[in-house]
Amino acid sequence: MPRPVVSAAVAALAALAAARPAAAQDERPGQFRPRPGEGRTPEFPPPTILEYKPRSTLVVPVHHVPRAKFPVVDFHGHPPALLSRDVIDRVVQAMDALNLRVMVNASGSSGERLRQQIETVRAAGHADRFVFFTTLDLRNVGPGSGRKLAAQLEADVKAGAAGVGEISKAFGLSYRKADGTRLRLDDPELDPVWETAARLKIPVFIHVGDPSEFFQPIDYQNERWLELALFPSRRLNDRSRYPSFEELMAERDRLLTRHPNVTWVLAHLGWHANDLARLGRLFDALPNLYAEVGAILYDLGRQPRTAHKFFVQYQDRLLFGKDSFQPDEYPYYWRVFETEDEYFDYYRDYHAFWKLYGMGLPDSVLKKVYYKNALKIIPTIPRKGFPE
């Protein structure tokens, strides 16, 4: 793409990102008349955030969905290392119960380890159930690193890798170059890697940053307070150590724009599940862009009508992904996507204190999210077991 066109596209994306609707939490107390309990102190000692677990008295229809309605490609799989028949058989058994037809092993591996897993899965008789991505070692990048990484990528694809990823969030956050500076997402040294992925027609699956609240002060207005209090490694609000959320997103958008022939897939809806309009503007500007839904169900389930409309509008750009391989958690996704159930629990309360609601997606959209879009961008996925 000519440089003036790229610059114009980046400027357009920046303008679109700035044109955001006001968030719901911008409505501050004081805009309405005082309420009867406002300012009063409870008569009894208040529970801690860990102790308060109110029982819901709501009586509404319940539809548990232990098995997906259609076969699924899990684009964001992290199974245990597939290096023994026993492990592979146990993973496939769990997949069968859930109607997961194919899992993309996004715990990318390269070289001999990649070949070992592919060969072990084939020997176990399950070559039609797994797809493997390669990985990139982005530590200590310096002059010539891009060409070396591109050569390794080409070798791994020849060995059977079907894509690149999951590229770690450390890329952009903490990886350092050989000269000690932070490796930026749009560093031109890596252009040969992305150009090789475009030429080989393989997707690049990239995890950029973390939820925007992880970059904010850890105060009582932060809706991820408990998670940040529990997990020190998720605290990214120290600007002396980490870039800001918006700085990372700007680097990401410049990278995506500069390489329009790459099939990019954003992990976790690009961390825009709480601002779907922003992701929609990215989709509108970048026809080469896709995104998957791993580990952000809590945001979709609290805005079922908005999420439903978004999934219908961008049904050709969305992929199913789960992230961590916990078989008992997948049915929450099926329930949110397939039913119109109301007010039910998310599976990790430190992620979300709110309840989930079903989006009630139509079958035509479910099929695209569950498997059709993945089959489109990874032509090497075996077609066995999928409806025509």
pLDDT at 28: 58
| Predicted pLDDT of residue 20 | 52
Considering its fold, how many domains does the chain have in total?
1
- Look at residue 352 in the predicted model and tell me its pLDDT: 81
- Predicted local confidence at residue 22, as pLDDT: 52
**314 within some domain:** yes
Residue 208 domain-assigned (yes or no): yes
Question: Residue 181's Cα: distance from chain center in Å?
Answer: 27
Q: Which of 388, 387, 364 is nearest to 311 (CA)?
A: 364
Q: What is the mean pLDDT of each run of 10 residues along the chain (388 residues)?
A: 50 52 54 77 92 94 98 98 97 98 96 96 98 97 98 98 97 98 98 98 98 98 96 97 98 98 98 98 98 98 98 99 97 98 94 93 98 97 91
Those residues with Cβ within 8 angstroms of residue 75's Cβ, 6 or more apart along the chain or in another chain:
104, 106, 205, 265, 292, 294, 319, 320, 321, 374
279 falls within a domain: yes
Instruction: Answer yes or no: is 324 within a domain.
Output: yes
Sign of the torsion angle spanned by Cα atoms 69, 63, 294, 284? positive
In degrees and rounded to multiples of 5, residue 268 shows phi and psi of 60, 35
Answer yes or no: is 190 within a domain: yes
Instruction: Answer whether residue 17 is part of any domain.
Output: no
CATH code for the domain of 281: 3.20.20.140
Whole-Å CA distances, 41 to 36, 44, 50, 99: 12, 9, 20, 51
* pTM of this structure: 0.92
**Residue 11's pLDDT is what?**
55
Rounded to an integer, what distance in angstroms lies between the CA atom of residue 181 and that of residue 113? 30
Do the domain assignments include residue 12?
no
Query: Could you tell me the residue range of the domain that residue 252 belongs to?
Result: 66-377
The confidence score (pLDDT) of residue 5 equals 47
